Structure 1
Amino acid sequence: MSIIKTIRSRLAMTQQELADEVGCTQGNIANYERGQTIPPEMAAKVIAASARRGLRLTYDHIYGGATLPVECLGAEGAHA
């Protein structure tokens, strides 16, 4: 599973919801999940969106294979 798909699943978001959150299309998210390289500016947006939902990430999680943190508020965190 790709890291973007893993992050999206951990956040309990659809591809469209993540796309809306980071300012791209659902097709972009699908491409990243299929292995297209994630540009650094998009990685920064994914990191920021994840943080807003309680999942603290770094570039090492996206590019370096660091293990994702267990703590995450998921969809509920967005409404708290």
Structure 2
Amino acid sequence: MSNFQKIRSHLGLSQAGLARALGMSQPNIYKYEKGQDVPPGVARKLIELAAKRGVSLTYDDIYQVKNA
């Protein structure tokens, strides 16, 4: 499971729900969960959304790289 997918799950949102909250399409969310780079603007919106839901989230949480 990708970091992006874990964050979405922790926020209790479906792909479609997160897409609506971030002002984008569900296929974009799917691509981020499958490994496409998350643009900084999207990361910022995700951090703001998490804060509104009482979840502390940082850029490091979003861009965390798996150990090889």
Please list every run of 5 or more consecutive structure 2 residues that lacks an aligned counterpart in the other structure.
none
State the 1:4 CA deviation: 1.0
Percent identity, aligned pairs only, is 48
Deviation above 2 Å: which 4+ runs of structure 1?
Answer: none
Pairs aligned (count): 65
- Per the TM alignment, residue 63 of structure 1 is displaced from its structure 2 partner at its CA by 1.3
Instruction: Name 1:16's counterpart in structure 2.
Output: 16
CA RMSD of aligned residues (A): 1.0
Alignment TM-score, normalising by the size of structure 1: 0.77
Write out aligned runs for 1:43-62 (5 A).
43-62=43-62
| Displacement after TM superposition at 1:64 (Å) | 3.3
| In structure 1, distance between residues paired with 2:43 and 2:64 | 12
State the distance in 1 between where 2:2 and 2:64 align: 13
1:3 and 2:3 equivalent?
Answer: yes
